[in-house]
């Protein structure tokens, strides 16, 4: 059997991150997005010579199989147990189906130009499935399959590292690794090992399918696309604040961890210092730049707002390893609650280099959108004039 004829790598629409569905519900209910079309673009930062263009047929075949999937009744029943999912959205998911017409993939040397364009609510879920497919195809081409002896040995070393620490009061981490996993099978095996060995530290997973089947807690709130999309439907200088308000409007204090780096932490703080946000949001998520500098800024901001930072949670999710989590924990512990979402180092540390890839929104409503992170290499925009306009609107130095 060739790779191109391989069975489906994604067999359930639940095999995605929780925040894809929470954002989809927010978009579905927001009148601002009822007629908005959006575009996402794939970007790989480190192909390591891997010929992505040669895998276009296999990628298309796998995505076509995803487009045949529907949410099962038992999956929808599970989603309905969470108070933040509304009955009308559950019924919308009952008829939800992706459509390959919205996907284009073209060769670009040994790289690919992969774009997803269409009505926002009908294309938003493609992201995680596509990345997970490409990541697992990479695994199969490079080494045939995951060597579970190597992968398990590496994970067991990480588990032992945690077990050998002094008690870590208040420490907890979740799996955020679906999009760059070596394989679905290995991700499930890794989570099972964590549940069996460090259940006091392993708090859950972003993957809804695995959370349901393994009895783990699903974790997640929002991602960059929520903030980016508002650039297309409101005055640019108001977009970040509109996104924060829109999230409160939808979830009314639930799922209250705000992502801070779509427009840089400094500009985020300028918009977030309204006590209304400080009280309604439970905490913040770091995804780029120095976690230590970011922590100091977050703690100082809460103090200036008259809020005890020890009552808020700081979530870290950028390029984490197990030693880095412990280092950040020790730096922040006692001053704020701390949590972690670890991705590639958990689900794709299997003996071969993982692809560092993303799919990000680049346009909405016929207009460019962008993110300017706290780390220059993570900024995303296809229109440099717009990028500079955005930076000017938020007083960001590029």
Q: How does pLDDT run across 180-196, given as a tens digit for each residue?
A: 999 999 999 999 999 99
Count Cβ atoms below 10 Å from residue 199 Cβ, excluding itself.
10
**Displacement of CA 348 from its chain's centroid (Å):** 16
Of the CA atoms within 13 Å of residue 185, those in its CB half-sphere come to: 11
Q: How does pLDDT run across 24-67, given as a tens digit for each residue?
A: 999 999 999 999 999 999 999 999 899 999 999 999 999 999 99
Q: How does pLDDT run across 77-93, given as a tens digit for each residue?
A: 999 999 999 999 999 99
3 state DSSP class of 366: coil
Count Cβ atoms below 10 Å from residue 38 Cβ, excluding itself.
27
Which residues lie closer than 8 Å to 120 by C-beta, 6 or more apart?
27, 33, 36, 37, 38, 229, 364
**Residue-level pLDDT at 274:** 87
Q: How does pLDDT run across 92-131, given as a tens digit for each residue?
A: 999 999 999 999 999 999 999 999 999 999 999 999 999 9
3 state DSSP class of 162: helix
pLDDT classification of 5: cutoffs 50, 70, 90 = low
10 Å CB burial of residue 174 (0-12, 13-18, 19+) is: buried
Q: How does pLDDT run across 309-320, given as a tens digit for each residue?
A: 999 999 999 999
Per the CB < 8 A criterion, the answer to whether 58 and 141 are in contact is no
List of long-range contacts for 381-388, beta carbons under 8 Å, 24+ apart: 382/41
Average of per-residue pLDDT across 235-253: 97
Average of per-residue pLDDT across 321-329: 98
Q: How does pLDDT run across 218-227, given as a tens digit for each residue?
A: 999 999 999 9
Confidence check: pLDDT of 2 > 50: no
Match 């060739």 to its residue by tokens. 2
Rounded Cα distance, 240 and 395, in Å: 13
Match 């390959």 to its residue by tokens. 100
- Looking at every residue in the chain, the average pLDDT score rounds to 96
CA geometry: angle 340, 344, 350, nearest 5 deg: 130
Produce one character per residue of 292-316: b if its CB has 16 or more CB atoms within 10 Å, e if not: eebbebbbebbeebeeebeebbbbb
**Residue-level pLDDT at 11:** 98
Give 248 or 375, the one with higher predicted confidence: 248
State both tokens at 161.
């590292």
**Of 192, 183, 178, 277, whose CA–CA distance to 220 is shortest?**
178
Q: How does pLDDT run across 264-281, given as a tens digit for each residue?
A: 999 999 999 988 999 999
Rounded Cα distance, 202 and 291, in Å: 21
Average of per-residue pLDDT across 255-263: 97
**Of 63, 65, 52, whose CA–CA distance to 138 is shortest?**
52
Confidence check: pLDDT of 198 > 50: yes
What is the crossing angle of helices 18-29 and 239-251, to 10°? Answer: 100
Average of per-residue pLDDT across 156-174: 97
Determine what percent of the chain is predicted with pLDDT higher than 90: 94
10 Å CB burial of residue 244 (0-12, 13-18, 19+) is: buried
Count Cβ atoms below 10 Å from residue 157 Cβ, excluding itself.
11
Rounded Cα distance, 97 and 120, in Å: 13
C-alpha distances out from residue 175 to 115, 172, 288, 326, Å? 27, 11, 18, 16
Phi, psi (deg, nearest 5) at residue 190: -65, -45
**Residue-level pLDDT at 310:** 98
Confidence check: pLDDT of 4 > 70: no
**Residue-level pLDDT at 23:** 98
DSSP class of residue 49 equals T
Give 325 or 3, the one with higher predicted confidence: 325
**Residue-level pLDDT at 379:** 81
pLDDT classification of 397: cutoffs 50, 70, 90 = confident
Average of per-residue pLDDT across 258-264: 97
State both tokens at 231.
């650039």
Determine what percent of the chain is predicted with pLDDT higher than 70: 99
Confidence check: pLDDT of 18 > 90: yes
Rounded Cα distance, 270 and 240, in Å: 10
Q: What region, left, alpha or beta, does residue 166 occupy, with left being phi > 0 and alpha being psi -120 to 50 degrees?
A: beta
**Of 102, 117, 28, 66, whose CA–CA distance to 361 is shortest?**
117
pTM score, two decimals?
0.97
**Of 211, 103, 202, 92, whose CA–CA distance to 158 is shortest?**
202
Q: What CATH topology corresponds to 1-398?
A: nicotinate phosphoribosyltransferase (3.20.140)
């Amino acid at each position: 059997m060739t790779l191109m004829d391989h069975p489906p790598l994604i067999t359930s629409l639940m095999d995605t991150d929780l925040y894809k569905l929470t954002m989809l519900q927010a978009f579905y209910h927001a009148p601002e997005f009822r007629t908005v079309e959006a575009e996402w673009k794939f970007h790989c930062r480190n192909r390591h010579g891997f010929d992505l263009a040669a895998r276009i047929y296999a990628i298309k075949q796998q995505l076509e199989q995803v487009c045949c999937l529907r949410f099962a009744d038992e999956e929808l029943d599970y989603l309905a147990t969470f108070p933040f999912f509304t009955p009308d959205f559950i019924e919308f998911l009952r008829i939800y189906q992706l459509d390959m017409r919205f996907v284009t993939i073209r060769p670009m040397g040994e790289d690919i130009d992969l774009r997803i364009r269409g009505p926002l609510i009908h294309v938003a879920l493609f992201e995680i499935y596509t990345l997970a497919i490409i990541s697992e195809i990479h695994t199969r081409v490079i080494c045939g399959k995951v060597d579970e002896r190597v992968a398990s040995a590496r994970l067991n070393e990480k588990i032992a590292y945690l077990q050998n620490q002094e008690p870590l009061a208040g420490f907890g981490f979740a799996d955020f690794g679906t999009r760059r996993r070596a394989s679905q099978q290995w991700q499930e095996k890794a989570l099972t090992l964590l549940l069996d060995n460090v259940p006091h530290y392993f708090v859950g997973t972003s993957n809804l399918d695995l959370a349901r089947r393994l009895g783990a807690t699903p974790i997640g709130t929002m991602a960059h696309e929520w903030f980016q999309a508002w650039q297309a439907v409101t005055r640019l200088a108001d977009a970040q604040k509109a996104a924060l308000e829109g999230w409160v409007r939808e979830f009314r204090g639930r799922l209250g961890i705000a992502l801070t780096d779509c427009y840089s932490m400094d500009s985020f703080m300028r918009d977030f210092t309204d006590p209304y946000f400080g009280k309604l949001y439970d905490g913040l998520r770091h995804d780029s730049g120095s976690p230590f500098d970011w922590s100091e800024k977050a703690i100082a901001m809460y103090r200036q707002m008259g809020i005890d930072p020890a009552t808020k949670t700081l979530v870290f999710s950028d390029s984490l390893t197990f030693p880095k989590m412990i280092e950040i924990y020790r730096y922040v512990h006692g001053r704020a609650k701390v949590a972690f979402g670890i991705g590639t180092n958990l689900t794709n540390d299997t003996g071969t280099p993982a692809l560092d890839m993303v799919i990000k929104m680049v346009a909405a409503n016929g207009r460019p959108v962008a993110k300017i992170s706290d780390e220059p290499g993570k900024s995303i925009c296809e229109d440099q004039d717009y990028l500079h306009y955005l930076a000017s609107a938020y007083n960001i130095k590029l």
